[in-house]
Amino acid sequence: MDSTDAITVVDAPVVCRISPTVDLLFSRWTTPILWTLHRSGRLRFGELERRLGTITPKVLTERLRQLERDGLVRRQYFPEVPPRVEYEITDLGESLSPVFAALADWTDDHLPAVEQARSAYNGPLPR
């Protein structure tokens, strides 16, 4: 077999270089957490949990740890009685603001068309 017959293997990140960012930002609850901290500023765990609504404490803890590990969220511990912990978005997290703004605009402009396409695809409800 000469070099023209070789199968080319393409590295996945080369095919879609935004994949790592999509994986980072769009795992369940990550975007709502970042959006809430971006809009609300520094929040205590319980307040963040209330603003998010249906998230469980376990999942919120996991996501906050991941976001802290990735440098998008800062955790600040206050050694008081009772202990206080606050979370805020970092400068790196804030750098995503244009991405969130673009997604919000896209949602406003196109989500109705997506919902219409879904309805058309699903067809009328059976009787």
CATH code of the domain covering residue 28? 1.10.10.10
Domain-located, residue 46: yes
Domain-located, residue 43: yes
Domain-located, residue 120: no
Q: What is the pLDDT, as a whole number, of residue 27? A: 87
Q: Which domain holds residue 63?
A: 15-94
Percent of the chain with pLDDT over 70: 87
Q: How many domains does the chain have?
A: 1
Domain-located, residue 126: no
pTM of the model: 0.77
Long-range contacts of 58-66 (CB under 8 A, 24+ apart): 59/28, 59/29, 60/29, 60/33, 63/27, 63/29, 63/30, 63/33, 64/33, 66/27, 66/30
The per-residue pLDDT for range 22-61, each reduced to its tens digit, is 888 888 999 999 999 999 999 999 999 999 999 999 999 9
